[in-house]
Structure 1
Amino acid sequence: MTPYVSRNIRQTELESVRAVIYARQSKRRVDESETSTESQIARGTALADGKGWKTGRVFQDIGKSGWDPDTERAGFDAMMAAVRAGEVDVVVVFSLARLTRQGAMEAMRINDVFMQHGVRLVSVEEPFLDTTHPIGVAVFALIAALAQQESELKSAHISEAKAELKAIGGHVSGRPPFGMKTERVKEGKLVRSQLVPDPETAPTVLKIVDRVMDGETVSGIVQSLNEKGEPSPGALALAAGRKRSGRSRSNITPADPDCPPLWDVGTLNTLLRHPALGGFAAEWVTDPDGKRRRREIMRDKTGAPMAAHKGLMEPIRWYQLQDVLKGRSRATELDWVMSELFARQGRTGSGSPGT
């Protein structure tokens, strides 16, 4: 019952069996776990070598869900194309769950394609699989159904965990706002990410807040930030990815031809309105017409704002800042236009917006 060769290949032809390996990992990680593609490929190659098969191509998908039917898996599609082209005798996977988590029907569809082209599926973790007879097919379908159930339960557990973390003020997703960073804090059995002031960028945000409260316009502040070469949130995100190439934060300036988008009115307004700056828990809210999403303060059952962490400023100052920003809302369009003109001036090096 060892499923190691297509029914179209005789035992005397085993040395010419063409085996390919397929590996999939839902999230990109490099470690020694069995879920890493490196480990899956190594185990699959060892199995093929032990059988004396000729290992050909290796197909893999990293950061791809096996549960979501809308996820595009280039490695899987290329492997199936090779099967249909008659270039494969055996497909080796670490486990059936690596091939698909979409349930028995999807697994049977894949196996039907394999059988139509005389291809056998081999699993490192499930060596008892043998789809050449009805009992083996039933076992195959059962394992596929269990893989789908496991994936659905895992998704439900993750959602529940996020909801619980959110309830105790945890930062469960998304990049922290400029001026803040995350740190791990243990709350009972849960470990949550908590927002805290970032000592590197918080001073910049606090200076901006002081300038707004002193009466400066957002567009004027944007212009001065760009003129001084103060890195925008996007610039710092790019700089973090360039550390391996030796480029530091001080290397990122508007004069740099590779500089990302500069500060603009929209970015600064969004930052200043972020509830996290005042220490509040925030959530995304969509307008009834579904056309606009914005962050709002989370509130408890009594309607009181939920304080989740230490903010960059006291809550009362954050509220005062919002009042100032709302009082200037009618000038938003003019601010945006002026910001665009100054941003273009910085990129082109022209003398003034109109020249």
Structure 2
Amino acid sequence: MTATLEAAPEHGSSVLRLAVGYARQSKKKADKSEASPQTQDEAIRRKAPERGCRLLKIYRDIGVSGYDPTVKRKDFERLLNYCRGNEVHEIIVYNVTRFSRREPKDAIPVVLELFSLGIAITSVSEGSFSPDNTMELIMLIMRLDAAHQDSKNKSEGIAGAKRLAKQFGGWTGGVPPYGMESYPESVTRVVDGKPVTVTIRLLRPVPRNEEGTDQASSVLRMVDRIFELKDKPWSGKRNAHPASVSAVVAWMNSAGWVGQNGGAWRTPTAKRILTDPRLAGFAADTVYHKDSDGNPTRTVNGYKILRDEETGEPITIGEALIPPARWFELQKWLRGRETGRSDTPWGTHLLTAMGVLKCECGRPMTGSPRLYKCSRPAGVVEDGKHVGGNTINQAEVNDHVARRIMAVLMTAERDEETLDTLAEATRRLGKLQENPTARGERASLLGEQKEITSGIDRMYDDLKAGIYEGKIGRARFLQEKETLEKRLSVIERRIAEVGGPELPALPIEQWTYTEDPDGDPLGEGSWWQEAGTADKRMLVSLFVDEVRVRKAAGRGGSNRVCRVEERVSVAMAKPEHEEQEPAEQVALMEAV
């Protein structure tokens, strides 16, 4: 929040003391409670003249916790910087809990710095704490500790109840996800050697009605629509595929099915619903977008499946509306559309819409009956890129790519590079043939692994930037790092338990079979000649990472020659190597 500049008092008497105010509320809501921003502002304005002060500004952090040490209070930092650079005699708050609910060891350094600047801290409801009075400093520390303990007790109570509910298989959320309802159930478990009976809440699909207008039927209608259409060939634009979320939403609205809030369906709403793991019976936390300072907003970014701390398996919280295997397969489809990769047979052109065929300028190439062409719109000029269009004979490119694949399959003496390509093709074929439940769970685990690893990387960046300077900062760094690494260990153990797909034997003899008298693997009677577009695309996806097409040096004239070997470069499949821990990160850790 931006600080508000307070007007000078209208009376003409000289006011020697200068004050700034600070207001904070944990949740963004306007109410009439004693902690509301309006109430705090009014109390601060009344208190300033009583203290003989002219109020300069009021700083506000709304929707920001005073307890969580990881949350950044932007206006609180602005207040401190203002006090460091300007003459200020007093900071006025409604009560000490607005100033801080953090541990005294985190709050005291801030208080001591303000006291060293000669700044008093005044609480409207608890009195003033002066920098030159040791007893008042002790009283302030005691108030800060009481505020912290109050928040800690509440936090631990809530966390403890949630942990117990999770341990018993309960749902700990607020409003049930769309299509689900909660119900109570008494369960008994042995905790620390003693039987404990508690009432937990579980989730189940909402009851269906004959008209199919209930929430559960709406969800299943969308899911069924996606599965009905997702594997059918499509020659139109990728984002207009009839199994895309936007197309399904348009279909739902045209059919008159009412949306979540009684109006029309919207694509973001449908996507949020379809990606919710709780529909598959899994416990999950909502992941929110973060602002530029790293604080969470109210916009949903996705969900994180909650897992058992020991086994890493998903925690179940009741009945599934969508069977887990089907839900994981749905997520694979939705993720594939986001990343631009999919196993779906898109259209009839061999190399288009697979993410492998690209123009020299970096744009994807599209297909027509005879040609592949750059997708840059006509008339668009880009600095440093080719002028005009870039087209190439489709059949000759297909033939060139196929022969590169066959050369790998038929190499008698396989060098290291060829063996790497065969190994990667084997891994990819295993993924295609794998059970969708295991494949989907592994994808979810790998996503969580990446998220945690990125969080650790960001911590090292902050460490390098000096955010964790000082004894307290180093302790916080080590504590947060230990927490993330513990989570990472559980995820990695679960990834190992789920395992990778079984590595099948590549059917090389089948792919290279030919009845051509010259032994041409693409000739008459060959597998390639008999295979359909979907099978050929599958083979390309196994063995090729990228096909890059350069613009022709000039027009071919009446005797057009494609010169495909000069214009087309094929990058064969290569294994993805895990990155090693940067040496700089190790050095930073040793310094801590």
The TM-score, its normalising length taken from structure 1, stands at: 0.61
Give the counterpart letter for 2:79 in structure 1.
Answer: M
* Equivalent residues of 2:227, 2:243 under 8 A apart: no
Q: Deviation at 1:90? A: 1.3
Q: Deviation at 1:215? A: 8.2
* Equivalent residues of 2:120, 2:128 under 8 A apart: no
* Equivalent residues of 2:28, 2:62 under 8 A apart: yes
SS class of match (1:334): coil
Distance 1:105 1:219, change over 3 A: farther
* Aligned equivalent of 1:308: 318
Give the counterpart letter for 1:107 in structure 2.
Answer: A
Out of 322, 333, 342, which is 1:334 matched to? 342
1:203 aligns with 2:217: yes
Q: Deviation at 1:183? A: 6.7
Task: Show CA shifts across 1:276-324 (max 9, x none).
Answer: 435x35358xxxxxxxx974898xxxx9x95636x546xxxx2674698
What is the alpha-carbon distance in structure 2 between the residues aligned to residue 327 and residue 251 of structure 1? Answer: 23
Distance 1:58 1:224, change over 3 A: same
SS class of match (1:21): strand
* Aligned equivalent of 1:223: 241
Distance 1:183 1:44, change over 3 A: farther
Q: Deviation at 1:167? A: 5.3
Distance 1:277 1:101, change over 3 A: closer
Distance 1:136 1:38, change over 3 A: same
Give the counterpart letter for 1:277 in structure 2.
Answer: L
* Aligned equivalent of 1:84: 84
* Aligned equivalent of 2:501: none
SS class of match (1:155): helix
Q: Deviation at 1:57? A: 0.6
Q: Deviation at 1:214? A: 6.0
Q: Deviation at 1:77? A: 0.9
Distance 1:250 1:192, change over 3 A: same
- May I ask how many residue pairs the two structures share in their alignment? 291
Task: Show CA shifts across 1:313-345 (max 9, x none).
Answer: 6xxxx26746987999xx995347959959xxx
Distance 1:78 1:324, change over 3 A: closer
What is the alpha-carbon distance in structure 2 between the residues aligned to residue 39 and residue 326 of structure 1? Answer: 47
* Equivalent residues of 2:232, 2:345 under 8 A apart: no
1:282 aligns with 2:287: no
* Aligned equivalent of 1:101: 101
* Equivalent residues of 1:165, 1:172 under 8 A apart: yes
Give the counterpart letter for 1:139 in structure 2.
Answer: M
Q: Deviation at 1:42? A: 1.7
Alignment of 1:71-220 (within 5 A): 71-127=71-127, 129-166=129-166, 170-173=170-173, 179-180=178-179, 197=206, 202-211=216-225, 217=231
What is the alpha-carbon distance in structure 1 between the residues aligned to residue 95 and residue 157 of structure 2? Answer: 22
Q: 110-119 or 77-86: which moved more?
A: 110-119
Segments of structure 2 that go 5 or more residues without pairing to the other structure are 1-12, 187-196, 208-212, 252-258, 286-302, 355-364, 368-374, 376-592
Larger Rg computed on CA atoms: 2
Q: Deviation at 1:79? A: 0.8
Distance 1:211 1:84, change over 3 A: closer
1 or 2 for the larger relative contact order (CA 8 Å, sep ≥6)? 1
Distance 1:325 1:97, change over 3 A: closer
> Percent identity between the aligned chains?
23
Task: Show CA shifts across 1:154-211 (max 9, x none).
Answer: 221110122244456654349865x436679799998969565495654342124445
* Equivalent residues of 1:170, 1:193 under 8 A apart: yes
* Aligned equivalent of 1:25: 25
What is the alpha-carbon distance in structure 2 between the residues aligned to residue 127 and residue 326 of structure 1? Answer: 57
What is the alpha-carbon distance in structure 2 between the residues aligned to residue 229 and residue 157 of structure 1? Answer: 43
What is the alpha-carbon distance in structure 2 between the residues aligned to residue 88 and residue 218 of structure 1? Answer: 70
What is the alpha-carbon distance in structure 1 between the residues aligned to residue 167 and residue 72 of structure 2? Answer: 34
* Equivalent residues of 1:212, 1:218 under 8 A apart: no
Distance 1:32 1:217, change over 3 A: same
Give the counterpart letter for 1:334 in structure 2.
Answer: S
* Equivalent residues of 2:283, 2:305 under 8 A apart: yes
